[in-house]
Amino acid sequence: MSIKISDPMNKKINTFIFDCFGVICSSALSTWYKDNMLKRGLEDKNLLDVFKEFDLGKLSEDDIANYFSKYEGINSTKEKIQEEIDDYLKLDERLAGVILGLRNQGFKAILLSNANSTFFDRMVYPKYPQFKGLFDEIIISSEVGMIKPGKDIYLHALRKINAKPEESLFIDDSQVNVDSAVKLGINGFLYTNVEAFLDYMKTLDF
């Protein structure tokens, strides 16, 4: 599905910067954690720090699966846990269609993801061969050594695509990440679902 927008050369927004997990793809790691721990009333207060190390490439997928296997009440092997995590990966085909429509109209579409690139290479790209074609640039935190909400990764993305902050829209499911982008002069949208995003797009002054 696509949305018709006026000529980007004569309007304000010409670049869309999308988060991956929680936006165009389901959050595989977070969903496994929620289903296996939070639903049982158990909480890991160190998890955000662990995910940060993973997103910087300092921990591997195997490290994360092994870490999860140590949780109280988890009896699965790390290999089984990795399979379960992989099963949570889903591409939002409708949003993918919207992004492709934006690119076909001349807008830039960028992926800016806190993630470990090994998951993309092993799972995202093979499972969804069309994924790379949705974006002009794919920027993954582990490959650049920077993560959201640190300002450096947003500035890196703008430089990479030669975009101005005021002409860009950043879409993420994290309020903290959106707020950080807005502080840099980038337009921000807190993503919840594709319907809300399409409704928001209709309000923009392109």
Q: What is the pLDDT of residue 203?
A: 86
Q: What is the pLDDT of residue 205?
A: 67
Q: What is the pTM of this model?
A: 0.92
Query: For the chain, which residues make up each domain, given as ranges?
Result: 8-26+91-201, 28-87
* pLDDT tens sequence across 139-177: 999 999 999 999 999 999 999 999 999 999 999 999 999
Q: 8-26+91-201 adopts what CATH topology? A: Rossmann fold (3.40.50)
Question: Per-10-residue mean pLDDT for the chain, 206 residues long?
Answer: 43 91 97 92 94 98 97 94 98 98 96 98 98 98 98 97 96 98 97 96 80
Q: What is the pLDDT of residue 12?
A: 86
Q: What is the pLDDT of residue 187?
A: 96
3-state SS, residue 27: coil
